[in-house]
Structure formats: structure tokens, C-alpha cells
Amino acid sequence: MAFIVVENGESIESALKRFKRKVQQQAIIKEIKKHSVYYKPGEKRRMKEAQARKRMRRRMKREKDIEY
């Protein structure tokens, strides 16, 4: 659970900005979205494999760019 302490004299906008940053750093929204939908085990596996392929392509592209 993310929370912040609002200092005396601190504007609401800056406190809200700090809160949003903290929530993003803790990946709370990402976790909520992940658990909001049920995926079948096979579907999870396919998504995981697709993500791995995507990471591999990105890594290969970076290595190729570095070589030249």
C-alpha cells in the first residue's frame, strides 16, 4: 500500500505528484491489471512465450546495433 505524508505548506499538486510516482515505482497499477482478468493456463503460457520472444528480438537488435 502506497502512502505519503503531506508536509506543512506543501501544495496538493506536489503531494499528488509524489503519490503517483510512488505508486508507479511500486508497480501497483500493473499488478492490479494483471489480476483483474483470468487467463487460462495455456493462454498464460503462450503470453509468456511471446514475451520471451519479444525480449530476445530486442536483445538481438541491440547486440546487432552495438557491433556496427
Q: What is the pTM of this model?
A: 0.49
Rounded to an integer, what distance in angstroms lies between the CA atom of residue 33 and that of residue 31? 5
pLDDT tens, per residue, the chain with 68 residues:
788 999 999 999 999 999 999 999 998 888 888 889 999 999 999 999 999 999 999 999 988 888 76
Are 2 and 28 in contact by the 8 Å Cβ rule? The answer is yes
**Boundaries of every domain in the chain:** 1-37, 38-68
Output the pLDDT for position 28.
87
